[in-house]
Amino acid sequence: MKQTAVITGGSRGIGFAIARQLASENYNVAILDVNDPEAYRENLNQLDEMKADWLYYRGSVAEKADREGFVQAVTEKYGDIDVLVNNAGVAPLVRQDILQMTEESFDRVMTINLKGAMFFTQLVARKMLEQEYKGNRRGVIVNICSSSAYISSIIRGEYCMSKAGMAMMTLLYADRLAGEGINVYEIRPGVIDTDMTSVVHKKYSDLIEKGAFPIARWGTPQDIADAVSVFVSGKLSYCTGNYLDLDGGFHIPRL
């Protein structure tokens, strides 16, 4: 029977690559995103060309009513939710030194990146717990975190803190849900070529050219989608709470 994957922030970038990948693996894909779907119509057209079954719900992961409305829409159309990918995330609107960081920016980033993912996962996990086992599992959760969970960037501290919080969120849900047939994984992308990084494209391209990354290229959204594919495959069923650095080897301490 066809399974259903839910992806937040899936209209473009990494989230869309994940949606397309899972659609290619015969999942129904349900996307929650703040954007007008017409803004990224060419992406949705790709799903149609693949003859994918998809649902697009316009709303914010930071809003309780939107989270609930989305889960209701997915339940009505598809029934179970088998895969949750917490991908929606934002960078600070203005990069500034931690000594200048505003409370407004802190609240915005933490509310979307951490609180939104935390309570959306809570909602979906509760639903998964009501579902029948399929084989040895009731669901899989993948959190799209970041190298910023452990690397200090003093001009976007709120982003780093939101991702460090997400890393603990991965452990907490993995621990809570391990006995319930739901494994939880985390991916920590390094620098991935998307709209989010377009504002710092030159800075990161220069770093890549200077050899800062052992694998000397930009990461692609498809690199992340491929890793999600592995995590949801069921081939890692004896591990949960693990993270994968997807950063061209940037996490390796070097002399």
Ligand X SMILES: NC(=O)c1ccc[n+]([C@@H]2O[C@H](COP(=O)([O-])OP(=O)(O)OC[C@H]3O[C@@H](n4cnc5c(N)ncnc54)[C@H](OP(=O)(O)O)[C@@H]3O)[C@@H](O)[C@H]2O)c1
Active centre residues (catalytic) = 159
Shortest separation between residue 91's beta carbon and ligand X, angstroms: 7
Shortest separation between residue 141's beta carbon and ligand X, angstroms: 14
**Contact pick of 76, 103, 132, 195 for ligand X (by CB under 6 A):** 195
Tokens coding 15: 């989230």
82 vs 223, beta carbon nearer ligand X = 223
**Contact pick of 29, 44, 90, 161 for ligand X (by CB under 6 A):** 90
* Residue 192 sits in the site that holds ligand X (CB under 6 A): yes
Q: Which stretch binds ligand X (CB under 6 A): 69-77, 81-89, 149-157, 225-233?
A: 81-89
80 vs 223, beta carbon nearer ligand X = 223
178 vs 212, beta carbon nearer ligand X = 212
Q: Which stretch binds ligand X (CB under 6 A): 22-30, 47-55, 178-186, 189-197?
A: 189-197
74 vs 191, beta carbon nearer ligand X = 191
* Residue 142 sits in the site that holds ligand X (CB under 6 A): no
